[in-house]
Chain A
Amino acid sequence: MPFRIVPLLLLAVVGLAIAADVDYPLDAPGPDGRRPGGTLTQSMPAPPLANDENNDLKRERNYPDQPPTIPHSIRGYQIDKNGNKCLSCHSRANSARSQATMISITHYMDRDGQALAAVSPRRYFCNQCHVPQKEVKPLVGNTFETIDKILQDDANAANKP
């Protein structure tokens, strides 16, 4: 009977030996930006909710076919099969009255490029592509450069002797 316990004891001893030997932190730091200063097991206070950017100023697009961001708050805007609050200003017919940007002609086409009478169903849900912005710094940094910047850098480099 006592002999049956021997393998288990051995396993426990070996396990302890290995565990004591770990030379990396078990509690790793959290992903960059998401939890500044925190580790995976730590609970950090949630960052405060930021306000929507609401200045009605068009932002630059980073590439020509980027869906433009929404420069105003869209709190409570209903977009479903009953109605689309965005289109009450941005549709072809309503943009003259509201002086809002008309949604582009591509939104009135099916996927074969055929023109439709009304907004295409596949383009109907505005915030699948267009999103409002918050007044915050990006959580994760990036080194993206627009094509204009790259071309300019090239031109500048060529001009130098």
Chain B
Amino acid sequence: MKALFALLKEYWGILCRPSVYFSLGFLTLGGFIAGIIFWGGFNTALEMTNTEKFCVSCHEMRDNVFVELKDTIHYSNRSGVRASCPDCHVPHEWTHKIARKMQASKEVWGKIFGTIDTRDKFVNLRRELAEHEWARLKANDSRECRNCHNFEFMDFTRQSKRAAAMHSTSLASGQATCIDCHKGIAHKLPDMHGVKGW
């Protein structure tokens, strides 16, 4: 502990002293350029992990959830607008995105230790995984849905009667959020025993 303290003190001394060999211009410019490279590199790497291609590069995603997505309206529809994995599973705003990405380090752990590396393991864990996503969307008022589906611009007259009735009451008053009713719209559902409303 004493040695560590001494080491820290030594480094603090170096940081406090003015530079002897390097010019101020080199240090500021070098720091600036290094900043660009590190920050740019970090962001590029982050965005690289934020693509569908990256998600389905693992067989866990490709063979289970991605094939299920392909049947749904969020993958193929008349207008060709589609949602990719991170559109729904990663927040778009930077702070929330970083928080989610840190959480997602658990997924790296899962990948390394093969938590869901077979179909059976995946099916067994599916309810738990689904509940994580339901809880996340419930807690943030379905923020990732609302990236595309904006309540302000919903035209109830263009919705079916049932949809308009639900959206203009429960959703409008904030009693319910998207995920309360729209579970399993992009992937198959796990065993739904005991889930409210099922």
A residues engaging B (CB < 8 A)? 54-56, 72-73, 75-76, 78, 81-85, 87-88, 94, 97-100
Among A76, A83, A99, which residue has its beta carbon within 8 angstroms of that of B72?
Answer: A76
A83 — nearest CB in chain B belongs to which residue? B192
Q: Are A76 and B190 in contact (CB under 8 A)?
A: no
Given A82-B192, A83-B192 in contact, is the A54-B184 Cβ separation under 8 Å?
no
B189: which A residues are within 8 A, CB to CB? 78, 82-83
B contact residues, range: 10 to 19
- With a cutoff of 8 Å between Cβ atoms, the chain B residues found around residue A55 in the complex are 160-161
Encode contact with A along B141-170: 1 for CB under 8 Å, 0 otherwise.
000000000000000000011100100000
- With A72-B162, A78-B184 known as contacts, the answer to whether A87 contacts B73 (CB < 8 A) is no
A-B contact pairs, 7 of them (CB 8 A): A56-B160, A56-B161, A72-B162, A76-B72, A83-B189, A97-B197, A98-B162
Chain B contacts of A72 at CB under 8 A? 160, 162
Q: How far is the CA of A56 from the CA of B164 in the complex (A)?
A: 12
Q: Are A75 and B198 in contact (CB under 8 A)?
A: no
Please, how many angstroms separate the alpha-carbon atoms of A81 and B192 in the complex?
9
Q: Is the interface of B mostly helix, strand, loop or mixed?
A: loop
Q: B166's closest neighbor in chain A, by CB?
A: A98
Q: How far is the CA of A87 from the CA of B185 in the complex (A)?
A: 16
- With A and B bound together, what is the CA distance between A55 and B160 in angstroms? 7
Report chain B residues within 8 Å CB of A87: 198
Q: Is B93 an interface residue (CB 8 A)?
A: no
On whether the beta carbons of B185 and A76 are closer than 8 Å, the reply is: yes
Nearest-neighbour CB distance to chain B for A98, whole angstroms, equals 8
B162, B191, B197: which contacts A94 (Cβ < 8 A)? B197
For the A-B complex with A55-B160, A82-B191, A83-B198 known, give 5 more contacts whose Cβ atoms are closer than 8 Å: A82-B189, A83-B189, A84-B198, A97-B197, A98-B162
